[in-house]
Amino acid sequence: MLEFDPPPSDAQRVALGELIAEGFCRIRALAGEGVPEEIAQIADAFHNLPIAMFRPEGWSVAWARSSFVQLAQRSRHDYLAEFDRIFPPGSYLEEF
């Protein structure tokens, strides 16, 4: 049977919302620079969070974090560090 983390707290949801907004602002800025690859990578990392963070069950911090691990290898901005401030490593199930 799969195990999941508890859903994000209200404070964590607010922080995730701010992180998502920051991602959208970065996408908007990059659109003027003509870097579609980075835009696509940021969108890919963020696109499931708005739905996943409000589901009553099935939330996995490790799953959500995996998108930011991949993005950290390609992006100029460190969204992973910001995600880790919201969900400190060791405070959630390590596998998904």
Show pLDDT as tens, one digit a residue, over the chain (96 residues): 578 999 999 999 999 999 999 999 999 999 999 889 999 999 999 999 999 999 878 899 999 999 999 999 888 889 999 999 999 988 888 776
Q: Is residue 44 part of a domain?
A: yes
Give the structural domain span for 36. Answer: 10-86
Q: Is residue 71 part of a domain?
A: yes
Q: What is the pLDDT of residue 87?
A: 96
Give one DSSP letter per residue of 41-93, joined into a string.
HHHHHHTTHHHHTT-SS---HHHHHHHHHHHHTT-SS-HHHHHHHHS-TTSS-
Tally the domains of the chain.
1
Q: Is residue 56 part of a domain?
A: yes
Q: Is residue 68 part of a domain?
A: yes
Q: Is residue 27 part of a domain?
A: yes
Q: What is the pLDDT of residue 96?
A: 64
pTM (2 decimals)?
0.89
Q: What is the pLDDT of residue 13?
A: 97
Q: Is residue 4 part of a domain?
A: no
